Amino acid sequence: MATASKVNEKIIQCTDEGLQVFGESAKHVIYFYLERDFQLKKTEIPENPETFCKAITSLFGEDGANSIEKSILQKMEQSFKIKHRSKLTFVETVLKLKANQNETS
């Protein structure tokens, strides 16, 4: 049974891996932008998925944000061993994972 911190760590790891498609340097720039303009630290993404999505949409536009979200969701499918064919968004997936974790703890 996963603890809240383990679920959060896995969400952060999946987000990190999803952003890796831009390369290491660009990923660090994205995290810098999140913290500077949205006061959102990398470690706070699981608690504030809406802010994260708003930030990447601001940075990349709707189409770019959708591509990033898909990349992250693919990593979540692998890491959490979930079927994501239900078309949930990043925010919905994070909230569902956290709710499921709360039910089992």
Average pLDDT over residues 23-29: 94
Name the band, by pLDDT with cuts 50, 70 and 90, for residue 10. Answer: very high
pLDDT tens, residue by residue, 67-92: 999 999 999 999 998 876 668 899 99
pLDDT tens, residue by residue, 45-63: 999 999 999 999 999 999 9
Confidence at residue 104, expressed as pLDDT on a 0 to 100 scale: 57
CA-closest candidate to residue 79, choices 9, 4, 10, 15: 10
Superfamily of domain 4-99, CATH level 4? Protein of unknown function DUF3227 (1.10.1200.200)
What H or E segment, with its residue span, contains residue 25?
helix 24-38
**Where are the domains positioned within the chain?**
4-99
Evaluate the CA torsion angle 41, 47, 53, 58 in order and state its sign.
negative
Could you give the C-alpha distances from 54 to 14, 15, 39, 93, in angstroms and in order? 18, 15, 12, 16
Confidence at residue 82, expressed as pLDDT on a 0 to 100 scale: 82
